[in-house]
Amino acid sequence: MLRSAFVIGASGAVGTQLVEALVSSRQFKKILVVGRRQIPLKHEESQIVVNFDSIEEHADVFKDVDIGFCALGTTRSKSGKDGFYKVDHDYVLNTAKVAKAQGVKEFVLVTSIGSNENSWFLYPRTKGEVERDVAELGFEKFLIVRPGFLEGPREEHRLGESLAKIFIKPLKLFSNSIAISTMDVAKVPTL
């Protein structure tokens, strides 16, 4: 039976590949891309522009949707500490709450390796907190995907990631858990 899905975070490195993987899987009759702005897509998915600060006003978007996919995120350098938390925690949690209230049964959340709500560091702590808080909503099925360092095309240049690639490349000879392609991350929830 074909299902319906929504994706938030479709403009990012993982989200772009996720939409492609969902379309290619042919398991969905409808795929809604929910975001802050229109983005160029290769296929004819429905795009819904929302204001994540007032996502509850867009509750109808999530009616008759079976599963939600979340690859939403930003960086501290791009949005600041408070902005990072707002996007990576609050927007994700509030969207999940509204979706659950509208009858969405399954939720897939892409976070990060090392997520830990008790971490002293902002990034893993935020990812751990959002995992905990979404889990507490009680979806029938809840999947957390925790990739390592992401390799793949990005719209913006990130100096820290460019430097990390130099050090990670030789380490990949010894372990395949250090880095993963965005395409491989996107395939996981569609299996």
Q: What amino acid positions are annotated as catalytic residues?
A: 123, 127
Residue carrying the six token digits 């902002």: 122
Tokens describing residue 93: 């949690």
Helix axes 76-85, 122-135, angle to 10 degrees: 40
Torsion angle in degrees (nearest 10) through CA of 41, 47, 52, 55: -160
For residue 127, with 0-12 CB atoms within 10 Å meaning exposed, 13-18 middle and 19 or more buried, which class applies?
A: buried
The answer to whether 104 touches 64, Cβ cutoff 8 Å, is: no
Report the alpha-carbon distance of residue 88 to residue 49 in Å, rounded. 18
